[in-house]
Structure 1
């Protein structure tokens, strides 16, 4: 008998997107899917659209709950999932018809606890591929964690992967974290996994739209959460290991990122967070300079932010304008 995959879909006020998402799952070439849609207290017609699908398809389950955020919605789905594997799809995204067939075939063939693939960023006027090379890479526990922390091959999101269900035993998504919660739970899942398999074909379609988390303006969670996530991962790792060095540099860069963020610099309400970030960088400055694993680029950015901030910001803003890095995910 074929392995059952439970697909968990958090849905909040996406009445114009959820049907397309469900249709892409119902059209999968791999048919043994349990589709769990969690209506996270939507105030529009999302719940009605979901209930209409529920009445037509036997493999769809629906949970209606009070609004508590995407992590709480996903946790609710995990609790009722009966599949051998668990996957996640955001309710405003779609997947190519062969995605879950390829993921499950790779998981079984290579005896992997996690099977993942590439993805597309779908803008109104273009599609960006990440990265569609066609490479197939097996990752043991250490390599999987290293690729996740370094940002190589392993996208920190939950939505382009399937996981053996038992990985979630004693692991929940932290509902207090609103930004980078995917990275945090993936850290613990990849830490637990003996093996993962990555196929770099872009089967997942991540939709960029106005009002989504990826395109929303800066807020307290976007400032604080990435630092807290990087810090928790750092504290969980053993010092003097390659993984610790990678996590340390990422933590330092999250502090630098606050100083570089134009929205934070221009908003008086958030400027205190720049001061706090600089205090943390000053506290770490000796470790940063002495640590051979921290790149020269990172060291220069830290020094520029701490001691030559006015000049650094001018240069940084000019560079960002030329490269378009700060408007990369902008949806007009």
Structure 2
């Protein structure tokens, strides 16, 4: 049995065992007791220094900040909405994407900026047909990754609001009208709409909000697409480059800086499921450790921006500890233990005197992290992610 297959088998057995415990509806203490009887208690955890060294040996932390080196001044807002489309080798989908933007039924003015991030297929040639349009800007650059492409679009915004569109996705023709109507009426910082997830066989999943003019920003889904943002939210921040899971930036540096967040019930965005995307294969790659590194970097950025460390950000971070751990699930027990130890240090550095008052699963995660209880953390990280 090769190394990868062994890890996959170990993970599958653990997942099956946790599902078994769920069905039995054991209380938390009973779960831990039973696990100990099965001798699944782990050996001694590494020190923080050992954990950092080991994880960096597998996938070094790029230490790429999400803070702009130069704070953006207010651009002349010649457009109501800037649509930033980042594309890489999307010859099969980019035309449908752009046509869905051009076919918006709206009274508002739109600026479309397409960043071709070093494509090696026919993407560049396909984009040439749009260069004669006055409100379409095509930028060809060397490959800089998803963040680098989006950040090019953030260099000069020139609009009241902005949004991000992936080049294999499609906008419903009501996207701009519905979201901007709410944005201008409510003077909103963020407006989010519903989305459909689809593939070649049809719709896989659909999600819709209720109309709400005072939505909790911490309850927004974490993807950058399907929303419009007031341009001022990106005066000081960009997407951290050279990391996977760069979208985490929104939860730490954008969402809670939004005073008025609205949602609309309409489906405005169609997200194409990509079996070759990072989400699909990330857990098998050492670079999945970026999930931890980017969390650590964003907390440092938050500190440098002098943003508050409050109960909500504490909850965001506790949830993120589970997400980071699960994203490394196929990398082996040694990696997961190291991730746990580094996250203990993160909680101690930024939230040492914090304590949850509610009795949610996060309270169990909190206690496990502070009590060095790796076993309980593992069980509840999996229980609440599957």
Give me the TM-score of the superposition, normalised by structure 1: 0.75
2:116 counterpart residue number: 39
What displacement does 1:294 show?
6.1
Which of the pair has more CA radius of gyration? 2
Structure 2 residue corresponding to 1:49, chosen from 101, 117, 126: 126
Q: Does the residue aligned with 1:73 lie in a helix, a strand or coil?
A: helix
What count of residue pairs does the alignment treat as equivalent?
Answer: 298
Cα–Cα, structure 1 residues 225 and 312, in superposed 2: closer, same or farther, change >3 Å? closer
1:178 counterpart residue number: 244
Structure 1 contact 281–302 (Cα < 8 Å) conserved:
no
Structure 2 residue corresponding to 1:165, chosen from 231, 242, 251: 231
1:330 counterpart residue number: none
Q: Does 1:207 align with 2:272?
A: yes
| Structure 1 stretch displaced more, 78-87 or 40-49 | 78-87
* Separation in 2, partners of 1:83, 1:308: 48
* Greater RCO structure (CA 8 Å; 6+ sep): 2
Structure 1 residue corresponding to 2:186, chosen from 110, 117, 121: 110
* Separation in 2, partners of 1:137, 1:63: 36
Structure 1 contact 119–204 (Cα < 8 Å) conserved:
yes
Cα–Cα, structure 1 residues 234 and 17, in superposed 2: closer, same or farther, change >3 Å? same
1:329 counterpart residue number: none
Structure 2 contact 87–116 (Cα < 8 Å) conserved:
yes
Structure 2 contact 252–298 (Cα < 8 Å) conserved:
no
| Structure 1 stretch displaced more, 42-51 or 167-176 | 167-176
What displacement does 1:7 show?
0.7
What displacement does 1:195 show?
2.2
1:195 counterpart residue number: 260
Q: Does the residue aligned with 1:170 lie in a helix, a strand or coil?
A: coil
1:127 counterpart residue number: 204
Q: Does 1:75 align with 2:151?
A: yes
* Separation in 2, partners of 1:73, 1:311: 37
Deviations 1:251-290 (A, max 9, x none): 23333445445xx45435xx443122332466669x8998
Deviations 1:180-199 (A, max 9, x none): x2331464334444423221
Runs of 5+ consecutive residues of structure 2 not aligned to the other structure:
1-76
2:313 counterpart residue number: 247
Cα–Cα, structure 1 residues 5 and 273, in superposed 2: closer, same or farther, change >3 Å? same
What displacement does 1:80 show?
4.0
Q: Does the residue aligned with 2:153 lie in a helix, a strand or coil?
A: helix
Structure 2 contact 78–159 (Cα < 8 Å) conserved:
no
What displacement does 1:8 show?
0.7
| Structure 1 stretch displaced more, 165-174 or 9-18 | 165-174
Runs of 5+ consecutive residues of structure 1 not aligned to the other structure:
327-332
Cα–Cα, structure 1 residues 258 and 133, in superposed 2: closer, same or farther, change >3 Å? closer
Structure 1 contact 230–251 (Cα < 8 Å) conserved:
no
Cα–Cα, structure 1 residues 68 and 316, in superposed 2: closer, same or farther, change >3 Å? closer
User: What is the alpha-carbon root mean square deviation over aligned residues?
Assistant: 3.4
Structure 1 contact 259–274 (Cα < 8 Å) conserved:
yes
Deviations 1:227-260 (A, max 9, x none): 3266447756535xxxx22322332333344544
Structure 2 contact 211–265 (Cα < 8 Å) conserved:
yes
Cα–Cα, structure 1 residues 290 and 108, in superposed 2: closer, same or farther, change >3 Å? closer
Q: Does the residue aligned with 1:87 lie in a helix, a strand or coil?
A: strand
Q: Does the residue aligned with 2:247 lie in a helix, a strand or coil?
A: helix
Q: Does 1:238 align with 2:238?
A: no
Q: Does 1:293 align with 2:357?
A: yes
